[in-house]
Amino acid sequence: MTLTFEDFPPGHFGQFGPRRVTREEMLAFAAEFDPQPMHLDEEAASRSMLKGLSGSGWYLCSIMMRMMFDGYIGRTASMGSPGVNELRWLAPLRPDDDLMLDVEVAEARISRSRPETGIVTFKGVVRNAAGQALCEMVSPIIVRRRATPEQAG
């Protein structure tokens, strides 16, 4: 069954994962989108502020998107997102870790400009296998409302 706006009341929504992050995938992303030495080179990374090889923050965001898709967005009447209110990278992503995603609905309201849709603001936290928070994001998505009898006609 497709999830609609009504399925996202404020409060805890769910936990998703684990998602394995391999060294190979992490390095391939960095080589294509974020080729800074701290994301590509063990030796340079060990001398960086993060003290060891770390994944690009944009890789972590992309993995979080995939975890949201696999967890619920793939079966939600999602119409896309206007943006991200805030995103914080809290600790470095290391290779060969297993990530978990916790999702909370921070706010859900009906759209004024498109009343057949609602705006659901999610707060997502990604943690590593040790339970350390790596990344926290607050972002709205646009979700279709369940068709009412008059709309369905």
Residues lying near another protein in the complex (CB under 8 A) = 29, 32-38, 48-50, 54, 56-58, 61-63, 65-66, 69, 73-74, 78-89, 92, 142
Closest CA to 134 of 87, 97, 92: 92
- For the chain, give the number of residues: 153
Closest CA to 134 of 99, 83, 84: 99
Nearer to another protein, 4 or 81 (CB): 81
Closest CA to 68 of 144, 115, 124: 124
Nearer to another protein, 11 or 97 (CB): 97
Nearer to another protein, 11 or 117 (CB): 117
Alpha-carbon distance of 148 to 128, in angstroms, equals 42
